[in-house]
Amino acid sequence: MVIAVDGPGGVGKSTVASRVAEALGLPHLDTGSTYRAAGLVALRSGAPLGDSTAVLAALDGLDIRIVDGIVSIDGVDVTEDLRSDEVTKASSIVATHPEVREQIVALQQAWVAKQGGSAVVEGRDIGTVVFPDAPVKIYLTARPEIRAARRSGDAEAADKSKDQIAAELAARDHADSSRKASPLRPAADAEIIDTSDLSIDEVVERVLASAARHET
Ligand code: DC
Burial (CB count within 10 angstroms: exposed 0-12, middle 13-18, buried 19+), residue 128: buried
Co-location of 123 and 34 in the same domain: no
Q: What's the confidence (pLDDT) of residue 161?
A: 87
**Where residue 66 sits, what CATH number does that domain have?**
3.40.50.300
Lowest mean pLDDT among 64-78, 122-136, 151-165: 151-165
Question: Among 63, 82, 114, which residue terminates a domain?
Answer: 114
Co-location of 33 and 21 in the same domain: no
Co-location of 128 and 190 in the same domain: yes
| d(C-alpha 44, C-alpha 49), whole Å | 11
CA distances (Å), 116 to each of 56, 96, 191, in order? 28, 29, 25
Ligand 1, atom 13: closest residue by C-alpha: 32
Ligand 1 test: best mutation among 81, 124, 179, most atoms within 8 Å of CB?
Answer: 124
**Strand ranges for 124-179 from DSSP E:** 136-141
Between residues 146 and 23, which one has the greater pLDDT?
23
Co-location of 108 and 133 in the same domain: no
Ligand 1 lining (C-beta closer than 6 Å)? 9, 31-32, 35-36, 91-92, 95, 123-125, 172, 176
Co-location of 108 and 135 in the same domain: no
Task: Kindly report the pTM of this predicted structure.
Answer: 0.93
Question: Among 54, 86, 114, which residue terminates a domain?
Answer: 114
pLDDT above 90: residue 177? no
Give the position, in ligand 1's atom list, of the atom nearest the Cα of 130.
18
Instruction: Give the mean model confidence (pLDDT) for residues 9-35.
Output: 96
Ligand 1 test: best mutation among 18, 31, 78, most atoms within 8 Å of CB?
Answer: 31
Tell me the residue range of the domain where 164 lies: 1-27+118-216
Residues of the chain with pLDDT > 90, as a percent, come to 79
Co-location of 134 and 98 in the same domain: no
Question: Among 99, 114, 129, which residue terminates a domain?
Answer: 114
Per residue in 28-85, pLDDT (tens digit) is 999 999 999 999 999 999 999 999 999 999 999 999 999 999 999 999 999 999 999 9
Q: What's the confidence (pLDDT) of residue 216?
A: 55
Q: How confident is the model at residue 152 (pLDDT cuts 50, 70, 90)?
A: confident
Co-location of 57 and 148 in the same domain: no
Q: Structural domain tally of the chain?
A: 2
Co-location of 122 and 195 in the same domain: yes
Ligand 1 test: best mutation among 29, 33, 35, most atoms within 8 Å of CB?
Answer: 35
Instruction: Give the mean model confidence (pLDDT) for residues 177-182.
Output: 87
